[in-house]
């Protein structure tokens, strides 16, 4: 006799994508200690936090050391000042949000995983390829999952046309990780109309919104009709380099009602029960990142990364290697040369050029034969990787 465990975990792929990569890189570096490996794999930022954020954090730390300004538990759903900063950020796109519609968290990954708590046994629609957390968190809950194939033919932007009309939880990530594809307003309107018609819920991940160039929606709430069918999850990880600092937010509109229940109230209840708030210091940092001055500094960092993306794109152009992304996204999504499979190309790049990327197959079966390179490296590392590709590929 033993206690029962969640058997759904047996259905997860054996290893999380990035642990697999780390293992392979570790084995290679141990066997080749003299070789300098350049890591353009994991989507982690490398530039330090911007000065306005650092200043705000120092001030908040001092407040915590002073009896008069010390703070204990934060409000579970966020301090008003942080919520107001998010609301102001959205006002730039003419999106109006209420104070009780924004929930401050410790990042988008937790919210992506935790949001499944408030839903029952629905069918899930997940783009393929995409950020793996949507899939794994739903596998953990034993959900029925269908895929939306994203491929070169549809510009890596699957549309509702041809999808059977019934209720789903639909995940949309725009700009997309890993492909860098971005939905325009008309395309998102089609998804919103589909969701309202079928009483589905869209979970919109806008983690890369700050990278958007041109006239694309930064938020699903720019789309008419979205307040009755969408939840948005976002993060300061890529916007402000908060991957190690940790702050995100989820927006659940008041009008979103499923089976007679307001999801906003459910998410509030879920957070108040299982989450004890993001640290005061971090919320002050987030407020600073979204302030006019702080955000400008963050955009300078993003511009730096995008110059890296341009260097990578240029060498791929020279080599005649097909790619997309790298314009409204920090990721370049390329077709593996010479018909190589994703992991084959991974091994080739690691062994021959000592460059680490991410195999497209790790983001879904449609990613097979593709590969992701990130522009989040330093300029020097990116330049060196580009030179190696120029000479060796
Ligand atoms: N959503 C997408 C699409 C991502 O690519 C990532 C991180 O890579 C996240 C969410 C996770 O963000 P956070 O660092 O806030 O947990």
| Band of pLDDT at residue 42, cut at 50, 70 and 90 | confident
What mean pLDDT do residues 135-148 have? 97
Q: Are strands 144-149 and 331-335 parallel, antiparallel or unpaired?
A: unpaired
| Band of pLDDT at residue 257, cut at 50, 70 and 90 | very high
205 lines ligand 1 (CB under 6 A): yes
Tokens 């879920």 correspond to 270
Question: What is the Cα gyration radius of the chain?
Answer: 21
1, pLDDT greater than 90: no
256, pLDDT greater than 80: yes
Span 280-304, pLDDT tens digits: 999 999 999 999 999 999 999 999 9
SS3 of 21, please?
helix
Pick from 16-30, 266-280, 311-325: least confident: 16-30
pLDDT on residue 183: 98
131 lines ligand 1 (CB under 6 A): yes
- The DSSP call for residue 303 is H
Q: CA-CA distance, 105 to 236, in Å (whole number)?
A: 10
pLDDT on residue 20: 87
- Alpha carbon nearest to ligand 1 atom 2, residue: 207
232 lines ligand 1 (CB under 6 A): no
State phi, psi for 230 to the nearest 5 degrees. Answer: -135, 150
Pick from 16-30, 100-114, 161-175, 274-288: least confident: 16-30
Span 202-214, pLDDT tens digits: 999 999 999 999 9
- Alpha carbon nearest to ligand 1 atom 16, residue: 109
What residues are paired with 168 via a beta bridge? 123
Which atom in ligand 1 lies closest to the alpha carbon of residue 243? 14
Contact 357, 385 (CB under 8 A): no
Which of left, alpha, beta for 266 (phi over 0: left; psi -120 to 50: alpha)?
alpha
Q: Are strands 123-128 and 144-149 parallel, antiparallel or unpaired?
A: parallel
- The chain-wide mean pLDDT, for the chain, equals 97
What mean pLDDT do residues 103-128 have? 98
Q: Which residues contact 272 (CB under 8 A, 6 or more apart)?
A: 76, 77
Contact 237, 205 (CB under 8 A): no
For the chain, the distance separating the N- and C-terminal CA atoms, rounded to the nearest angstrom, is: 57
SS3 of 255, please?
coil
Q: Which residues contact 220 (CB under 8 A, 6 or more apart)?
A: 172, 188, 192, 202, 204, 206, 226, 230, 232
pLDDT on residue 14: 74
What mean pLDDT do residues 357-367 have? 96
pLDDT on residue 160: 98
356, pLDDT greater than 90: yes
Span from the CA of 2 to the centroid of ligand 1 (angstroms): 36
What mean pLDDT do residues 301-312 have? 98
What mean pLDDT do residues 66-71 have? 98
pLDDT on residue 191: 98
Query: What size, in residues, is the chain?
Result: 393
Pick from 18-27, 64-73, 154-163, 331-340: least confident: 18-27
Which atom in ligand 1 lies closest to the alpha carbon of residue 176? 3
| Band of pLDDT at residue 18, cut at 50, 70 and 90 | confident
Span 74-97, pLDDT tens digits: 999 999 999 999 999 999 999 999
What mean pLDDT do residues 338-361 have? 97
236 lines ligand 1 (CB under 6 A): no
16, pLDDT greater than 80: no
| Band of pLDDT at residue 17, cut at 50, 70 and 90 | confident
What mean pLDDT do residues 172-191 have? 98
Q: CA-CA distance, 56 to 24, in Å (whole number)?
A: 40
SS3 of 286, please?
helix
- Alpha carbon nearest to ligand 1 atom 8, residue: 43
Which atom in ligand 1 lies closest to the alpha carbon of residue 111? 16
CA distances from 20 to 17, 129, 184, 289 (A): 5, 18, 34, 33
What mean pLDDT do residues 192-209 have? 98
CA 240 to chain centre: 13
372 lines ligand 1 (CB under 6 A): no
pLDDT on residue 349: 97
């Amino acid at each position: 006799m033993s206690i029962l465990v969640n058997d759904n975990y047996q259905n997860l792929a054996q290893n999380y994508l990035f642990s697999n990569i780390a293992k392979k890189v570790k084995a290679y570096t141990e066997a080749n200690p003299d070789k300098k490996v350049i890591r353009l794999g994991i989507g982690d930022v490398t530039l330090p936090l911007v000065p306005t954020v650092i200043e705000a954090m120092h001030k908040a730390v001092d407040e915590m050391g002073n009896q008069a300004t010390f703070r204990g538990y934060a409000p579970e759903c966020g301090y008003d000042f942080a919520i107001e900063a998010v609301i102001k950020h959205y006002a730039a796109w003419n999106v109006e949000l209420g104070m009780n519609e924004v929930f401050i968290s410790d990042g988008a990954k937790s919210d992506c995983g935790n949001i499944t708590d408030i839903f029952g046994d629905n069918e899930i629609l997940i783009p393929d390829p995409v950020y793996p957390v949507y899939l794994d968190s739903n596998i953990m809950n034993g959900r029925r999952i269908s895929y939306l194939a994203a491929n070169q033919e549809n510009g890596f932007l699957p549309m509702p046309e041809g999808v059977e009309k019934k209720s789903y939880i639909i995940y949309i990530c725009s700009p997309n990780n890993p492909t860098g594809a971005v939905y325009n307003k008309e395309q998102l309107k089609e998804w919103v109309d589909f969701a309202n018609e079928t009483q589905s819920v869209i979970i919109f991940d806008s983690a890369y919104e700050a990278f958007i160039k041109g006239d694309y929606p930064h938020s699903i709430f720019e789309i008419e009709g979205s307040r009755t069918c969408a939840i948005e999850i976002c993060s300061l990880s890529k916007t402000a380099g908060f991957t190690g600092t940790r702050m995100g937010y989820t927006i659940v509109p008041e009008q979103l009602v499923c089976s007679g229940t307001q999801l906003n109230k459910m998410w509030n209840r879920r957070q108040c029960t299982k989450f004890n708030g993001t640290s005061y210091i971090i919320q002050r940092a987030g407020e600073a990142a979204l302030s006019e001055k702080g955000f400008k500094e963050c955009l300078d960092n993003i511009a730096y990364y995008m110059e890296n993306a341009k260097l990578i794109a240029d060498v791929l152009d020279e080599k005649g290697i097909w790619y997309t992304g790298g314009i409204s996204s920090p990721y370049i999504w390329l077709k593996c040369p010479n018909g190589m499979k994703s992991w084959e190309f991974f091994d080739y790049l690691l062994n021959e050029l000592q460059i680490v990327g991410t195999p497209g197959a790790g983001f879904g079966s449609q990613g097979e034969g593709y590969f992701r390179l990130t522009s989040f490296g330093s300029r020097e590392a990116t330049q060196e990787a580009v030179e190696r590709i120029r000479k060796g590929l």
